[in-house]
Amino acid sequence: MFQLKKGYFSAVMLICILALLSACGNNSANNSNTAQAEATPAAESSPAASDNAAGTEEQSATRMVKTVKGDIEVPANPQRIVAGYYHGTLLSLGIQPIGASKEWWMGSPFLKEQEAKISDIGSPASAEKVLALKPDLILINDTLAEGYDDLSKIAPTLFIPYDSIKNVHDEVKQFGVLLNREKEAAAWEADYQAKAAAAREQLAGKLKPGMTAVLMEIDGGTIAVMGDNYGRGGEVIYNALQFKAPEWIQKNVIDNGVQYQEISMEKLPDIANADYIFLSTYTETSQEQLKALTESKIWQGLPAVKNGNVIPLDYKTYFYFDAKSILGQIDTLTQTMLEQTSK
């Protein structure tokens, strides 16, 4: 009987030892996999797993980003972004920012629904308000450069200078790479090209290829001409609809990167000698100041004015030139031109 019990006890002990060794082996394998996942760069991360553990691991992954402020470690998949600028671009990539500057950069009629979900961080941004939002990533441009040190103490902060981005297309592409949203960036570009082509097709019977256009703005007593990368619909006019800029504007406003140039009324016959004029009026410009331009002999003598080809641009609708607003502007400006040319 004793011998039987002893053999039985030995068997049980053997089973326990084997089970323990098996468990240790599994733990070692799990620890090895975790280390590998942590060492894997975020740019090369695999699709998110369905279980919570994998999702948490993916959110905690980081990667290094080279910036003008040096190499910055940022979340591979940030979940709470404060955008001191560029919030419209984030929205175009399917990312909902948690904070942005309301007075300075929010107000586009094309972002009304999305902006309602964004907390105001002040203009300029308040470090206290940003801190309260508990961001995991902060994006700024030159307008908040002086506050970089304070903001970078709250969360990884990427300073992206305004002049480091060529245009809205380059901006979407860069942020697509930066935020692991390259597919979304490509989808936006495809959407833009499709909308632009459709708009040109709609206007094909009314507008001839190679027609010229001038984008102007009156701000009180100041008259200015603008290029294709300064808001007011310039991207849509010169790139989506493919109007040509008069030679002087192409050389002195667009090609040299100035994008905004004040001019005197006396120069209008030379500078604004175009088939179309797109006229933006700053919100604080009085009717008397506007009439001083539009009722002048110089204005009345311009070809576009004589032919009824002056297209008024609502300031608040066309001021913004983020990626999402521009898509909306293609539609609204096309509709405005269809209505104008049908008169």
Mean pLDDT of 178-190: 96
**Residue pair 89/322 in contact by the 8 Å Cβ criterion:** yes
Q: What is the pLDDT of residue 104?
A: 85
The model's confidence at residue 206, banded by pLDDT at 50, 70 and 90, is confident
User: Which residue in 174, 193, 212 sits closest to 90, CA to CA?
Assistant: 174
- The pLDDT tens digits of the residues spanning 238-266 come to 999 999 999 999 999 999 999 999 999 99
Read off the pLDDT band of 58 (50, 70, 90).
low
Helix (H) or strand (E) holding 278: strand 276-281
Q: Is the pLDDT of residue 337 over 90?
A: yes
What the chain holds in terms of domains, given with CATH numbers, is 53-186 (3.40.50.1980), 206-341 (3.40.50.1980)
- Is 5's pLDDT higher than 90? no
Instruction: Tell me which residue of 303, 302, 304, 312 sits closest to 281, measured CA to CA.
Output: 312
The per-residue pLDDT for 35 is 26
Weakest-pLDDT range from 14-18, 90-94, 116-120, 226-230: 14-18
Which pLDDT value is given to residue 342?
61
| Structure-block tokens of residue 220 | 């009180």
> What pLDDT, on the 0 to 100 scale, is given for residue 47?
39
Higher pLDDT, 208 or 91: 91
Give the model confidence (pLDDT) of 263-319 as tens digits.
999 999 999 999 999 999 999 999 999 999 999 999 999 999 999 999 999 999 999
User: What would the two tokens of residue 100 be?
Assistant: 């942005």
Residue 207 — pLDDT band, cuts 50, 70, 90? confident
CA distance 306 to 277: 11
Torsion of CA 316, 279, 168, 106, to 10 degrees: -10
CA distances from 288 to 220, 284, 295, 303, 329 (A): 9, 11, 10, 23, 28
